[in-house]
A and B are shown apart, each in its own frame.
Chain A
């Protein structure tokens, strides 16, 4: 259990609307390990994004518990959850969700300065990280609307990682990007994972899922399959793709 980062017990999530109840997640027992690049897959409506947001403390489970280390986060109130997120989690959204009234650098600092009181050091770190994901000095001053989709998502990744989170959650991070931009974003995530960053990513794209070393398959709110892959390396893609496709075929995807 030493490497378990996040653990759920009997996790359930139910949505009510107009007197109708929809059980989206059903009794999930999941353990996420440190350093893993976990990919959650499933068809539309399977509950994968709901699971991601429940695991990350963005949404509260209806039943069951979520433990982050020794702390049960499922019992925290909204503000304590916010503090938990700022200290431990990073988020990358499909729709990127940068604050459009701020420059790229300010978007990153808006997260970074939530924890750090050292403005100079945080700004230097943000700039370094932006450079590492291929965003040069010119891009720092731009507003989100002036960036390409790939640039904006890489800025989103830097924002997610600026506070050195224990775990990075990514919800379809390439869903709104073209192929080239997707590759550049996935390369960044892969590189981060190689340097030890734990990542949980939701996707329904096989090419994107291949970046992970663990695949969880979700259908009708239940984990139907859990497959381990080796660490992603460029050039192994055909073999890796076949392995993943076989798994998904077993899952009747």
Chain B
């Protein structure tokens, strides 16, 4: 008999286990290949898309009235810039439109679709030729993926109390300004529609878009920093106006952040599944050897070498893992459109995955290699088995040293004590099951925590990003006195509090930093300072953790801040964290900012409401103080819509993680229980002979796994509760986060743990139903 025949004979014996193993290993290799592919492709994918779409590396947009030739010249003459384009656009600093299930407020730039441009040309994915030119608008692909728009749909854009309706004529792909998580969206209007709107809105909405490419993509952040050193957002006599900039490195980071977290979860989870499969394989090989010890003796007596017999055992698992790994990898490419959909939601770009030979090889090698190694190590005992010893039934594989849970002395019912004895007998196997349960519970808690904080109650996530969770933001006009406007707003019905929170650009110890200015930081919901405090006095400043590292200054040190030629020295009172602007931020009090720009008052007022809806308040404030206000923004709606892409992606990942957790629990328990039934059929036969009923033995078996599962889910749940924020902190350190404070809800974790234990009990009982076929009569016939 050849080794192949021995393998076939071994496989025939345990068909159920083979099928379960194939499922587990296929799932593991699927997730591994997807995770590795996403992680390895993300950076090159983005860069490849930038090249493919001929997108700029840097964009800057401002009102035409603020634009001077020297602004464009700065980019043209900057070292390393390879191409520059300057074109007129229509700017809507605060436009409202439907996005998904809610209204979204965002800054909007409208470009002429029929203009010639070499940087960021209109790259349509899909178009509808029948839309009349006067109504045609081209929307970013994210509007198709997340916004719910389809070709021919009408989009209504509300701007300055007027609504503009267009018909969707196509969707375009772009790496710049095409997702709603950057605060500015670009859309294209047909020439006829563009000219009509430009004429209607006049000079006030007329803007300039500067686009540039550089020799080195990584220098794109530096050019903007240098620009702000020369042209600060606000200077003496000039308050900050509409000004928007973005570079490809930031876009990559913002889009890649969630994608990489998702990929990390997938890889981590695939490792858990591989470990689970390895546990089952180790268990299975042990049992096969124990069960077929006499056959091994016969084969050895016939002249088979230990290597041949070991190879037949190892071979079957290598064969299973190779087949399952290939199925998993093949399925991963079939399922890439699903994951591609999630990635497209997050990036607004079409993810087309080509087969990557190296990654397929790595995934297969990891899976097949680990399975083969475990099978090989477990089969080693065949070498020590002499033919005579094997023919006599082999060496005793157990070595009982203690009579755990003595039926005489231990407390508890008979079935419980039997279950406890089983736990102690199989302690090594149970430890591994516990480890797997810890891992899957931890992953589930982690994904639920992400879902809870990103998709349900978004406050912690929004605070992490660095945004303030007020209800309404009011931009006062540059002519108005923002202090007086704020005082008036405070007196309005339903206003709980208000605070000035605006931005200026400064250099802090030589580094260009976007600096927040507020009249009272204690009123902010988002207390981003985790060490020390926000500034209270005019000579104080708080800086972000990322800035602190950059300039090597901390709480108690002094820093020199400069803008528009004015400098002042401040004492650092606190360190903050946020993802926005690569984690680089500084915070001055209003009076502190006035040391640099004496006339500066701050124009953006955050309003917090109580007992009045945002819409009611917005209408009221526009009616009463419309002449002092440029824009009123519904912050709640904006947050809802801007975070919707994360919500759907995180919800999808949570669903994937939970489904896989359930599959792992079901398969592991099913295989372990079935194998235990085989291994202990003699014991169960004896017990049945002495009067134990099938339900009693089923419960006994199921109960023997409950404490293990319970321990696993409790430890996993606790670790999840305690470590989720720490792990997120580590994952987000590069993005400027030092201390994630996501809300972990104990009742949710307890519910998950209870659900997993109930599932474990149900699966154990179902798998143990085969106990019915074990008969005391089998003791005689065996």
Contacts and interface: CB of A to CB of B under 8 A. Distances in A.
Interface string B677-710: 0000011011111111111000000000000000
Nearest to B406: A106
Interface in A98-137: 98-103, 105-106, 109-111, 113-115, 119, 123
A106 B690 contact: no
B193 to A, nearest CB: 79
B196 interface: no
B403 A106 contact: yes
A102 B403 contact: yes
A143 interface: yes
Interface in A51-86: 53, 58-59, 78-79, 82-83, 85-86
Interface stretch (B63-71, B245-253, B771-779): B771-779
Given A101-B421, A102-B421, A106-B407, A58 B689 contact: yes
A217 interface: no
B691 A86 contact: yes
A111 B686 CA distance: 10
A82 B772 CA distance: 12
B407 A53 contact: no
A94 B721 CA distance: 56
Contacts of B407: 102, 105-106, 109-110, 113, 119
Contact of B396 (A53, A114, A119, A145): A145
Given A97-B686, A102-B403, A143-B400, A111 B780 contact: no
B425 A99 contact: no
A58 B396 contact: no
A251 B685 CA distance: 35
A59 B775 contact: yes
Contact of B408 (A53, A101, A105): A105
A91 B685 CA distance: 12
B772 A78 contact: yes
B768 to A, nearest CB: 14
A93 interface: yes
B492 interface: no
Given A97-B686, A100-B400, A119-B408, A83 B693 contact: yes
Contacts of A89: 691
A97 B425 CA distance: 18
Interface residues of A, number: 38
Given A101-B421, A114-B414, A171-B780, A141 B688 contact: no
Nearest to A124: B408
Contacts of B406: 103, 105-106
B691 A83 contact: yes
B691 A106 contact: no
Contacts of B400: 100-101, 143, 145
A106 B779 contact: no
Contacts of B685: 97
Interface string B359-378: 00000000000000000000
Contacts of A93: 689, 779
B693 A82 contact: yes
Contacts of B222: none
Interface in B654-697: 682-683, 685-695
Contacts of A85: 689-691
A141 to B, nearest CB: 7
Contacts of A14: none
Contacts of A78: 693-694, 772, 775
B692 A82 contact: yes
A7 interface: no
A31 to B, nearest CB: 24
A87 interface: yes
Interface residues of B, number: 30
A176 B688 CA distance: 22
A100 B682 CA distance: 10
Question: Main secondary structure on chain B at its contact with chain A?
Answer: helix
Q: Which of A53, A110, A115, A145 has the most CB of B within 10 A?
A: A110
A159 B779 contact: no
Contacts of A86: 690-692
Interface string B389-430: 000000010101001001110000010001001000100000
Given A53-B777, A97-B689, A99-B686, A79 B694 contact: yes
Contacts of B683: 99-101
Nearest to B694: A79
A105 B406 CA distance: 9
Contacts of B693: 78-79, 82-83
A78 B689 CA distance: 11
A153 interface: no
B777 A58 contact: yes
A103 B396 CA distance: 17
Contacts of A115: 691
A119 B406 CA distance: 11
Nearest to A110: B407
Contacts of A102: 403, 407, 421
A198 interface: no
Nearest to B690: A111
Nearest to A120: B408
A53 B780 contact: yes
Contacts of A59: 775-777
A239 to B, nearest CB: 34
A182 interface: no
Interface string A38-51: 00000000000100
Q: Which of B406, B682, B691, B780 has the most CB of A within 10 A?
A: B691
Given A86-B691, A110-B690, A141-B403, A123 B776 contact: no
A178 to B, nearest CB: 18
Contacts of A113: 407, 414
Given A58-B689, A86-B691, A119-B408, A97 B682 contact: yes
Nearest to B683: A99
Nearest to B408: A123
Contacts of B690: 85-86, 91, 110-111, 114, 159
A145 B688 CA distance: 21
A103 B401 CA distance: 10
Nearest to A142: B403
A91 B689 contact: yes
Contacts of B689: 58, 85, 91, 93, 97
Nearest to B400: A143
A58 B774 CA distance: 11
Contacts of A53: 776-777, 780
9 contacts: A53-B776, A78-B694, A85-B690, A97-B682, A106-B403, A109-B408, A113-B407, A143-B400, A159-B690
Interface of A: 49, 53, 58-59, 78-79, 82-83, 85-87, 89, 91, 93, 95, 97-103, 105-106, 109-111, 113-115, 119, 123, 141, 143, 145, 159, 163, 171
Interface of B: 396, 398, 400, 403, 406-408, 414, 418, 421, 425, 682-683, 685-695, 772, 775-777, 779-780
Q: What are the nearest 9 A-B pairs in CB distance?
A: A86-B691, A109-B407, A103-B403, A79-B693, A59-B777, A123-B408, A82-B693, A58-B776, A85-B691
Given A78-B772, A97-B779, A115-B691, 9 more contacts: A83-B691, A87-B691, A89-B691, A97-B682, A102-B403, A106-B408, A114-B414, A143-B403, A163-B691
